């Protein structure tokens, strides 16, 4: 049962995610780049926020499964370039160039989304291992929306061509995109299930 402090903390955190996600989308529209609103991280922030407010652990976990590994890649690239002043995978080059203050502020979500999302999931408790179904369904819908309703030059969520130097482009790139998403979601699902379901149950059983 939640204490008043835990309830207040989670509600504030949920509102924060929704605010940050909707702010990012509104800013994209204000910049006359409405397709940017479909960046997977922006969508994930809003859905995590609602997942926290409604205490829907499966919705939170499904978003962490989608964005977990891409955000890990982003952070590795960022801190490598911060330390060496040289690009690694060319993922965060834009962050080290001229940016509008609001754009730089929005990019901060790459740092807090995973740790705060994991904290919320830990507090709310994961109740099912099948959250990956939401993840797979969601990326299929997002891919279709981006592919049919956005400009390829914007390359939202890396749908049209690779965003990183170690993933090749080509005629088979759509299959590569889906294949990588399935692998990343599958990997993160195993990790989240082990941490929040199987590992916790094992510890509880050993303490009996």
pLDDT tens for residues 116-131? Answer: 999 999 999 999 999 9
Answer whether 157's CB lies under 8 Å from 142's CB: yes
Residue 198 pLDDT grade (very low, low, confident, very high; cuts 50, 70, 90): confident
Residue 207 pLDDT grade (very low, low, confident, very high; cuts 50, 70, 90): very low
Residue in the block written with tokens 């981006």: 146
Q: Model-level pTM greater than 0.85? A: yes
Residue 208 pLDDT grade (very low, low, confident, very high; cuts 50, 70, 90): very low
Q: Domain range for residue 140?
A: 4-206
When divided into structural domains, the chain yields a total of 1
């Amino acid at each position: 049962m939640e204490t008043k402090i835990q309830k207040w903390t989670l509600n504030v955190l949920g509102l924060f995610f929704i605010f940050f996600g909707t702010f990012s989308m509104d800013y994209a529209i204000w910049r006359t780049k409405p397709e940017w609103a479909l960046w997977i991280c922006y969508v994930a922030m809003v859905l995590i926020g609602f997942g926290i407010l409604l205490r829907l652990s499966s919705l939170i976990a499904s978003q962490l499964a989608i964005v977990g590994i891409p955000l890990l890649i982003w952070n590795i690239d960022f801190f490598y370039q911060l330390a060496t002043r040289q690009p690694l995978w060319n993922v965060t080059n834009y962050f080290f160039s001229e940016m509008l203050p609001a754009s730089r502020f929005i990019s901060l979500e790459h740092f807090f989304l995973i740790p705060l999302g994991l904290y919320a999931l830990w507090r709310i408790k994961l109740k099912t291992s099948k959250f990956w179904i939401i993840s797979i369904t969601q990326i299929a819908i997002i891919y279709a929306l981006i592919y049919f309703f956005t400009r390829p030059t914007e390359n939202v969520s890396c749908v049209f061509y690779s965003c990183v130097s170690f993933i090749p482009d080509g005629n088979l790139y759509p299959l590569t995109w889906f294949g990588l998403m399935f692998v990343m979601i599958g990997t993160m699902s195993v990790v989240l299930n082990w941490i929040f379901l199987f590992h916790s149950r094992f510890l509880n059983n050993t303490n009996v």
